[in-house]
């Protein structure tokens, strides 16, 4: 039950504050993803990265930012511009190319953000 | 991009009965269709997947079928057990690219 670690598990934020969610993996996976999970809306892609120092917007990137300075790390910043940030955030990773397990997402345990 | 629709959103079955969850996709170039299971309070985990060159795949009590012409795929769970209770997500995409998830089905197996 390891490999990809998210922290913190629970986070409370006041309106107008930026917060950063951590995601670290020791699986040597190339690609990393951030999803937002809301009841009845499934998993919606925020950002993803397939290589260090490169990342792409997903379907709901507005109000979020990411960085990929190391292969192991893909932190997500929820900015004050995100209008409805209260949600459950899931980080995931997977190998690419012909490597074993390519296309299988490994998820973290998630971070629940509540804006007060 | 891809648009994945999933039905039903909730499903209750008696223990021992079968459960079927259906998904449709819009991008005819999608060639990979995984299913993830998320038990309460846990992370999603892959339970089965299928590629577009295959019409059906089975793994014990679960099976997935794919109809490329109609652009729909389904998850079938036979002889359901209480531990099958969870939220199930379908997804579609192209191998090597990102996937697009459906909205999830909350399955309850009644003992």
pLDDT at site A49: 96
Query: A108 CB near a chain B CB, below 8 Å?
Result: yes
DSSP state of B13: E
Provide the mean pLDDT of chain B: 95
What average pLDDT does this structure show over A2-11? Answer: 91
What average pLDDT does this structure show over B41-45? Answer: 92
> Looking at the predicted structure, is the pLDDT value of residue A116 above 50?
yes
Binary contact (B101, A109; C-beta < 8 A): no
B6 chain-A contacts, CB cut-off 8 A: 42
Q: Best of A94, A99, A103, A109 to disrupt the B interface by mutation (most B CBs within 10 Å)?
A: A103
CB pairs under 8 A between A and B: 48
Q: Best of B3, B43, B88 to disrupt the A interface by mutation (most A CBs within 10 Å)?
A: B43
* Cβ neighbours of A37 (radius 10 Å): 20
Report the residue from A35, A41, A104 with minimal CB separation from B103. A41
Provide the mean pLDDT of chain A: 92
Q: Which residue has the tokens 């509540």?
A: A114
Report the residue from B44, B98, B99 with minimal CB separation from A107. B44
Q: Residue A99: which pLDDT band, with cuts at 50, 70 and 90?
A: low
Q: What confidence tens digit (pLDDT) does each residue in B71-95 have?
A: 999 999 999 999 999 999 999 998 8
Q: Say if residues B52 and B31 touch (Cβ distance below 8 Å).
A: yes
> Looking at the predicted structure, is the pLDDT value of residue A1 above 50?
no
> What span, in angstroms and rounded, lies between the C-alpha atoms of A78 and A66?
9
The residues of B whose Cβ lies within 8 A of any Cβ of A are: 1, 6, 9, 32, 34, 36, 42-46, 49, 89, 95-96, 98-104
> What span, in angstroms and rounded, lies between the C-alpha atoms of B73 and B65?
5
Q: Residue B99: which pLDDT band, with cuts at 50, 70 and 90?
A: confident
Question: For residue B17, which of B62, B81, B86 has the smallest C-alpha distance?
Answer: B81
Distances (CA, A) of B70 to B25, B28, B29: 9, 10, 13
Q: Residue A2: which pLDDT band, with cuts at 50, 70 and 90?
A: low
> What span, in angstroms and rounded, lies between the C-alpha atoms of A44 and A31?
16
Q: Say if residues A115 and A14 touch (Cβ distance below 8 Å).
A: yes
pLDDT at site B108: 98
Q: What pairs with residue A87 in β-bridges?
A: A113
Tokens of B51: 């590629």
Three-class SS of A14-62: CCCCCEEEEEEECCCCCEEEEEEEECCCEEEEEEEEEECCEEEECCCCC
Q: Say if residues B50 and B63 touch (Cβ distance below 8 Å).
A: no
B46 chain-A contacts, CB cut-off 8 A: 104-105
* Cβ neighbours of B18 (radius 10 Å): 11
DSSP state of B10: E
Binary contact (B101, A42; C-beta < 8 A): yes
* Cβ neighbours of B90 (radius 10 Å): 30
Q: What confidence tens digit (pLDDT) does each residue in A57-95 have?
A: 999 999 999 999 999 999 999 998 888 999 999 999 998
What average pLDDT does this structure show over A52-56? Answer: 96
């Amino acid at each position: 039950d390891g490999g990809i670690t998210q922290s913190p598990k629970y986070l409370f934020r006041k309106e107008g504050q930026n917060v950063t969610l951590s995601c670290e993996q020791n699986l040597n996976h190339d690609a990393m993803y951030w999803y937002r999970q809301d009841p009845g809306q499934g998993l919606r892609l925020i950002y993803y990265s397939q290589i260090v120092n490169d990342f792409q917007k997903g379907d709901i990137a507005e109000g979020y930012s990411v960085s990929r300075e190391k292969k192991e790390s893909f932190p997500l910043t929820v900015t004050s511009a995100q209008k409805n940030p209260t949600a459950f955030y899931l980080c995931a990773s997977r190998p690419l190319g012909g490597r074993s397990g390519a296309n299988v997402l490994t998820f973290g345990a998630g971070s629940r953000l509540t804006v007060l | 991009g891809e648009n994945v629709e999933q039905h039903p959103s909730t499903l209750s079955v008696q223990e021992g009965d079968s459960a079927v969850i259906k998904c449709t996709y819009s991008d005819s170039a999608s060639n990979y269709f995984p299913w993830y299971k998320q038990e309460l309070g846990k992370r999603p985990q892959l339970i089965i997947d299928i590629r577009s060159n295959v019409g059906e795949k089975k793994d014990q009590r679960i099976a997935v079928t794919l109809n490329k012409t109609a652009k729909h795929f389904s998850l079938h769970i036979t002889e359901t057990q209480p531990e099958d209770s969870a939220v199930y997500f379908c997804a579609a995409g192209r191998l090597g690219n990102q996937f697009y998830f459906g909205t999830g089905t909350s399955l309850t197996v009644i003992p």
